[in-house]
Structure 1
Amino acid sequence: MCGIVGYTGPKTATPILIDGLKRLEYRGYDSAGICLADKSLNVIRTVGKVRTLEDRVKELGLPTEHCGIAHTRWATHGAPSEANAHPHTDDKKQFAVVHNGIIDNYACLRKKLEAQGHRFSSDTDSEVIPQLIAEFYQGDFCKAVTQALSKVSGTYGLAITSIYDPGVIVVARYGSPIVIGFGNGCNLVASDITALVPYTREVSYLNDGEMAILSSDKVEMCNLDNVPIEKRVATIDWDVEATGKGSYEHFMLKEIHEQPDAIGNTIRGRLNHQLDSTRLGGLNMTPHDMAKINRIVIAGCGSSMHAGWVGEYYFEEIARIPTEVEQAAEFRYRNPIITPDTLVLPISQSGETADTLAAVREATNKGATVAAICNVVGSTIAREAGRGVYLHAGPEISVASTKGFTCQVTALLMLAVMFGRNRHLGREQGAELLKEIASIPDLIRQVLKQAPVIERIAAKYVKADNFFYIGRGYLYPTALEGALKLKEISYVHAEGYHAAELKHGSIALLEENVPVVAMANAVPGQDKMIGNIRECLARHAPVIAVVSGDDHTADELADDIIRVPMSSRYVAPLTTIVALQLFAYYFAKFRGCPIDQPRNLAKSVTVE
């Protein structure tokens, strides 16, 4: 879950490394460090965010080396501290390493290395790697790396430098993402293409068990047995401006407001009005292939899992296919029942989520048809699934997912229509659903116009420390996602519930200081939701109701009203969650929270 960047070329490396770390800071911000490599290793590390490291570098004088590696950390082994920050070196400072992942057998390796005389200076698992390389080094840098990695069990994305090969960076991957960037007279490495966009659009993605040796004028790639391999070069289609905040105060607010365009990109070219269906070529399934699917399993974590729960409603109602949602972390451990007629849909914004990747591999091993829903082109899950739907939402930098979630839900709706038309769904129903899908961007623009109203409501409740979010049907997963957004970025306790579950225990917690956010949209189940609102009011809990258009059913009951455009039950989760994203954003802002980088979290969870 940490951020890695490396550069070798004619320019001074430090500004490029610092810029790369800033672009990767959403992957971790407990500590940061750089190593400038020449005939000695110049290592600078700090606790805290990248700007602290940048200040330290300026104080010490800008190093002028042309090769270096850098790292921003999300702590796994060892508390955030300068000693535990990366890069790590061996005790003789011959090799420096930045590492993303977890070394499972580090304790055993450390004990053996200490017995051989190596002295450790951190509590991390990562430090065993440079010590192992030093132990094996006999004049061949790359060979020492492969020998060291043969002793390692666990996951890693690595960039390594050495005093013996100035200007060279050795890179290796097993389970943690690594991407190589081919520049003009230079070469780069990163854990995420976000760090590479200002310097190159030409990249290659390493697979597990692969290595790369970077110098300023060439990149050599091989496997861990030193057998040369050829890699396809892909082109990044993101603009540099897309990775910046522009005129917005926070990335999260920018990404909330980008949702109409992001969803437009997800939809573009995929509505087939000739057949009154959707066209998702990346699925690579014929009508006969789709007709054989008799069950769908969706795997995801966090917001992606919530999107999957909306998708379950879509597939079962629109396509009439039995569907279930699995927590990706549990998928492979509970030996799920998978047949060749099962379609497994892993959902991951980054395409690198470790638990979801493990679910992909388990489903593939069991013979399922696997189709990924991802945002990042060329990501590991997308490559290993081999088919699926790219969101084309653009980079999502804020840790709290916004446009990633809504684009995932939109993609699932389009998939459900495609499978529905393959089965029982008539042309008239298909045409109506296409109109609804096409209307989503404009409906969300209408929600965004409500931002000042939502901001005032958020200010009213800013001292509350506990919230309930309640919904029914399609809006139950929306309640879960709305609660997640609030607790992610404001650190208050927020719980999402199916409204009917309130009276089965949790209603005991309601009182005048516990606001309830109720999804009271004019969709099926609204009459029952009104009854649930009355139950909350009877316990003196203030109610914030999300309602549809000019519907006034909840007006006299709720303490505050958030209006979203009138829509069907299929689109209501999208308009409603945008309103809840805005509420969470303004609430966290009024409480003075670090919205884009909430404590203890990282954007892409690449460790189990």
Structure 2
Amino acid sequence: MCGIAAYLGTEQAFPLLSLALEKLEYRGYDSAGVAVVDADGEIHLTKTINKVESLCRNDSGITMVSNVGIAHTRWATHGSPTLLNAHPHIDCDKKISVVHNGIIENFVELKNQLIQQGHEFASETDSEVIAHLLEQQMKEGLDFERAFLTLNHSLKGSQAIVAVNASKDPIICALRTGYAGGLAVFPDHKGGAITSDLSAILPFLKGTDVKPVIAFLEPHEMATISSQGITYKDENATPIVKNLISISLSDNVVEKKGYDHYMLKEIMEQSDSVLAATKDLIDFSSLQFKNENLTLLGNNSFNKVLLIGCGTSLNACAVAQTYFEELANLPTEIYSSSEFRYKKKFVDDTTLVIAVGQSGETADTLSAMSEIKSLGARLVTVCNTPGSQADQLAEESYFMNCGMEVGVASTKTFISSLSILYSLAIYIGSSTGYLTEEQVKHNIGDILSLPGIISATLKKSDSFKVISDHVNFSNNFLFLGRGNNYPIAVEGALKLKEISYIHAEGYAAGEMKHGPIALIDENLVTVAIATNSNLYDKMVSNIKEVKARNGLVVALVNESNNSLDNEVDFVIKVPEVSIHLAPIINVIPLQFLSYYIALERGCNIDQPRNLAKSVTVE
């Protein structure tokens, strides 16, 4: 979602901030802007409702000498994507500029109050309220830094805020309240930088011999960057000392490597994802777990497992429910983070909570994690981002290690998540003695075989395209699955609606007669996941019910199955694996189906409309 960058130092600010914004583009945005303070202490703004690169064609931000500025990529929440609504925002006197992630829940009340005090607003956003609040506080006698600290108490909701004042000796202030995206502070000897994403720190590291260390702001903490360095305070204005964390960042440019889209590249990388995700957990030469990286799971006795996530991560949780129930013999619940955070919670120190998310910055998941931790449950996370807020909140983190996923629609991180969750379930089953040593080695061997099977499935992409060419006429799709393929039906529908903007629903096949069957006709495409399982015959019955109503059916079956070749309109064939690992294989043709349909329709595959890679607001 929204991205933040700020810089105060000895280099030209605008080029560095522009590069930082380019690093933030993958998160999704609909507008962007930069504010810099010149040597005379005046603020200059440049904004765009196009790509970040278009900022560089606007002379207002480039020609002046300026060593301080703030920048932002916006994903619209309050107000449409226009230049006026784009960040940064300024106050009436053009003495303060602000960028903001989050939603101000009491902004209407604050805006009305400020209007009564004589403030004039230029935008429709809630974020502009912050600039005018600071202006008002300074009119009432507070300096910029103390005025900024009052935001802790005046704003309701979760926020990440950075502001700069117009002065010949300007300062930058940053503040977090709740979970609206993180803020990482990078100090150097004459100032520093702040970003909402570690990748955006990279432009500020070039040409320095400063050891790359980062401080992460916790909720209600403030950082102030001046030419003298960086200071930190808590919400009571008490100075605090932050732990500086050494970081290892690679400036490898994420390239498409000859593919037309990042999404296609990331689908094709999935044969590498399984072993990358599990290499920290399993020694594949001995088929043994690395106990030193699984201390929390190995040293505790759990009575139940709770899996939480959003979007594709929630679908991974739904698949993994079966893993923990059948391999670890533990009752397992799954919840959407956005729902779980508002319900009564039955967790304690015998509950293992696993929070899943590729970015580690999803607001709903972070809020749920924070509350879960306060209730004493044991908390771990599966994510793709070391140093993320989820990583910091969790007692133990299991990283996907699959490299940056640029496409907004998650693909390889789904398979990475499932690989880790499957491994964790086996480990718990092994630790408790529920699984025999022979069963453990057999299941680990199945993991080891997956890369080759995934590669074989990826090689079928041309056949998947042929089928997509026959069904892309439809504006309505129904995906059906049973057992642990039901979440794959939901994931297939999610991918299709995300990138092709087609209405698609994922349903448990046994529920078809309880509503969806009313929609079936020759214009509805039904994708039925019918790979081998103990529910295969029931799935075939569902397929026949669709065909009896003139529905068009695409059946996903194993390569050895020819029984449906003359019963359905199109057949997708995939290699056969164990029932537990079938979802990992079965999702791949559905990813391709979505990709090729979106391609045919001319959709923006890597950055679909209205979607963001990291959802940092509710």
Q: Helix, strand or coil: the match of 1:232?
A: coil
**How much has 1:78 moved relative to structure 2?**
1.8
Identical aligned pairs, as a percentage? 39
Select which of 383, 386, 399 maps to 2:408: 399
**Structure 1 Cα separation of the partners of residues 166 and 405 of structure 2:** 37
Quick one: structure 1 residues 170 and 548, their matched pair in 2 at CA, closer, same or farther if it must change by over 3 Å?
same
1:207 is aligned to 2:207: no
User: Which residue number in structure 1 is paired with residue 208 of structure 2?
Assistant: none
* Residue matched to 1:180: 185
What is residue 71 of structure 1 aligned with on the other side? 72
- How has the CA–CA distance of structure 1 residues 454 and 202 changed in structure 2, closer, same or farther, with 3 Å as cutoff? farther
1:366 aligns with one of 375, 387, 399: 375
Whole-Å separation in 2 of the counterparts to 1:595 and 1:274 = 39
Does 483-492 or 542-551 show the bigger shift?
A: 542-551
Give 1:268 deviation, angstroms: 0.9
Are the aligned partners of 2:411 and 2:591 in contact in 1 as well (CA < 8 Å)?
yes
Q: Indicate the residue corresponding to 2:32 in structure 1.
A: 32
Find the counterpart in structure 1 of residue 426 from structure 2: 417
Q: Note closer, same or farther for the CA distance 1:141–1:281 as it changes in structure 2 (3 Å cut).
A: farther
1:302 has 2:304 as partner = no
Report if aligned partners of 2:152, 2:220 keep a CA contact under 8 Å in 1. no
Equivalent in the alignment of 2:117: 116
* Alpha-carbon distance in structure 1 between the residues aligned to 2:15 and 2:289: 46
Whether contact under 8 Å (1:90, 1:134) holds in the other structure is yes
Aligned partners of 2:486 and 2:508 also within 8 Å: yes
Contact in 2 for aligned 1:523/1:568 (Cα 8 Å)? no
Q: 1:185 to 1:446 in 2, by over 3 A?
A: farther
1:337 Cα shift?
1.8
CA contact (8 A) 2:45 2:60 kept: no
Partner of 1:19: 19
SS of residue paired to 1:36? strand
Are the counterparts in 2 of residues 197 and 236 from structure 1 also a CA contact under 8 Å? no
Cα distance in 1 for partners of 2:18, 2:120 equals 29
Q: TM-score, normalised by structure 1?
A: 0.94
Aligned length: 605
Distance 1:523 1:54, change over 3 A: farther
Partner residue, 2:325 = 316
In structure 2, the partner of 1:526 is 536
> Which amino acid in structure 2 is aligned with residue 162 of structure 1?
N
Assess if the C-alpha contact under 8 Å between 1:370 and 1:387 holds in 2: yes
Shift in CA distance, 411/280, structure 1 to aligned 2, threshold 3 Å: farther
Structure 1 counterpart of 2:154: 151
- CA offsets 1:495-544 (integer angstroms, 9 cap, x no match): 11111211222112111121111112123322222222222222222222
Deviation at 1:547, TM superposition (A): 2.1
Post-superposition Cα deviations, 1:243-263, rounded to whole Å, max 9, x if no partner, equal: 343433222122212222232
Cα 1:554/1:53, change in 2 over 3 Å: farther
Structure 1 residues 524, 112: closer, same or farther in 2, change over 3 A? same
Residue 566 of structure 2: aligned partner: 556
Residues 224-243 of structure 1: pairs in structure 2 closer than 5 A:
224-241=235-252, 243=254
1:59–1:180: structure 2 CA closer, same or farther, 3 Å change rule?
closer
On the 8 A contact 1:6/1:69 being kept in 2, the answer is yes
Does 1:248 pair with 2:259?
A: yes
Q: Does the Cα contact within 8 Å between 1:141 and 1:165 map onto a contact in 2? A: no
* Corresponding residue for residue 258 of structure 1: 269
Question: In structure 1, what is the equivalent of residue 337 of structure 2?
Answer: 328
Contact 1:207 1:380 in 2 (8 A): no
- Does structure 2 retain, via aligned residues, the 8 Å contact 1:276–1:427? no
Q: Secondary structure at the match of 1:586?
A: helix
CA distance in 1, matches of 2:70, 2:571: 51
Match of 1:43 in 2: 45
Offset of 1:390 from its aligned partner?
2.0
Please give the per-residue CA displacement for 1:44-95, whole angstroms capped at 9, x wherever unaligned: 123344344444x258864442221111111112222221111001110001
In structure 2, how many angstroms separate the alpha carbons of the residues matched to 1:12 and 1:2? 24
TM-score (norm 2): 0.92
Answer yes or no: is the 8 Å Cα contact 2:291–2:298 preserved in 1.
no
Q: How far apart, CA to CA, are the structure 1 residues paired with 2:84 and 2:163?
A: 18
1:133 aligns with 2:134: yes
* Aligned: 1:3 with 2:6: no
CA distance in 2, matches of 1:280, 1:67: 48
Q: Which amino acid aligns with 1:511?
A: D
Match of 2:166 among 163, 167, 175: 163
Distance 2:574 2:588 in 1: 9
* Distance change in 2, residues 1:192/1:276 (3 Å): same
Whole-Å Cα distance in 1 between the matches of residues 546 and 25 of structure 2? 41
Give structure 1 stretches of 5+ with no counterpart: none
**1:270 alignment counterpart:** 281
- Structure 1 position 354 matched with structure 2 position 363: yes
What do the CA deviations read for 1:340-396 (whole angstroms, capped 9, x no partner)? 311111112111111111211222222211112222111112211222322222222
Q: What is the RMSD of the two structures over their aligned residues, measured on CA atoms?
A: 2.3
CA separation of 1:108 and 1:269: change in aligned 2, threshold 3 A:
closer
Gaps of at least 5 residues in structure 2 are 206-211
- C-alpha contact 1:17 1:69 (8 A) present in aligned 2: yes
Distance 1:572 1:45, change over 3 A: same
